[in-house]
Amino acid sequence: MVTSSDTRSPAAQGFHLASHVTTISLMMVLPAGGGYYADKYFGTLPLFMVLGLILGLIAGVWQLIRLAQNEPPKHEDSTSPSTTDESSHPN
**84 vs 91: CA distance, rounded Å:** 13
Quick: pLDDT tens for 31-73: 999 999 999 999 998 999 999 999 999 999 999 999 888 866 5
pLDDT tens profile 69-88: 886 655 555 555 555 555 55
User: Whole-prediction pTM value?
Assistant: 0.66
Contacts within 8 Å (CB) and 24+ apart, 22-25:
23/63, 24/60, 24/63, 24/64, 24/67, 25/60
pLDDT at 90: 58
